[in-house]
């Protein structure tokens, strides 16, 4: 009798272990899917082949995805000489109201795919797209690096809720303003991509 009771208990424990193992497997599959969707550096937004010429174009493509995020994300949109999108990569994901940007990360994919220009795009979870002094500083520094590399930074578009702001339209950024005279590097006024803003 005791042997049957022990076997019944062992069977129950085996069923419980099998159930736990199956639940762990399901959780691991879900976790792998979440990592694939949200992993920094491995994510590309499917906008390749589209043409962007204005801040509104950029906001139309990436705004819906960035508008309601709880954390700031910085994305870099890569363009060819005809303003066709070669790809978009997630460069950094920060906290509730700030991100730390490593300038080299803004150009890694651009160099790899031989992009002629880039656009910075990020969100403000506060829903207020007004650029901060840090946004202006980062834009200036990325522009300087782009001038050295010969890859134009055309603009920095900030999405806040359903609104957006272009630093270039606000007069807070102008491509090529940091390049050294006589370097022989191209700038946004050359045969590269064009960018239409109301106040540029």
Residue 165 parent element (H or E): strand 163-166
Residue 89 parent element (H or E): strand 85-93
Residue 82's CB: how many other CB atoms inside 10 A? 11
Give residue 188's pLDDT band: very low, low, confident or very high (50, 70, 90). Answer: very low
Rg (Cα) of the chain, in Å, rounded?
24
pLDDT, tens digit, for every residue of 29-41? 666 655 555 544 4
| pLDDT reported for residue 8 | 59
pLDDT, tens digit, for every residue of 9-31? 656 666 777 776 777 677 666 66
CA distance 102 to 119: 16
pLDDT, tens digit, for every residue of 138-182? 999 999 999 999 999 999 999 999 999 999 999 999 987 765 544
């Amino acid at each position: 009798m005791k042997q049957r009771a022990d076997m019944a208990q062992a069977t129950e424990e085996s069923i419980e272990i099998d159930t736990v193992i199956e639940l762990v497997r399901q959780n691991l599959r879900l976790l792998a899917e979440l990592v694939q969707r949200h992993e920094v550096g491995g994510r590309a937004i499917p906008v390749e082949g589209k043409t962007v010429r204005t801040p509104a174009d950029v906001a139309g493509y990436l705004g819906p995805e960035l508008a309601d995020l709880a954390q700031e994300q910085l994305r870099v949109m890569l363009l060819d000489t005809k303003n066709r999108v070669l790809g978009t990569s997630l460069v950094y994901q920060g906290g509730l109201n700030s991100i730390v940007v490593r300038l080299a990360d803004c150009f890694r994919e651009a160099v790899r795919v031989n992009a002629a220009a880039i656009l910075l795009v990020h969100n403000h979870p506060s829903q207020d797209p007004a650029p901060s002094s840090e946004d202006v500083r980062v834009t200036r520094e990325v522009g300087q690096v782009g001038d050295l590399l010969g890859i134009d930074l055309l603009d920095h578009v900030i999405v806040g809720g359903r609104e957006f702001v272009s630093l270039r339209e606000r007069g807070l950024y102008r491509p090529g303003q940091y390049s050294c005279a006589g370097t022989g590097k191209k700038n946004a006024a050359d045969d590269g991509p064009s960018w239409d803003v109301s106040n540029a």
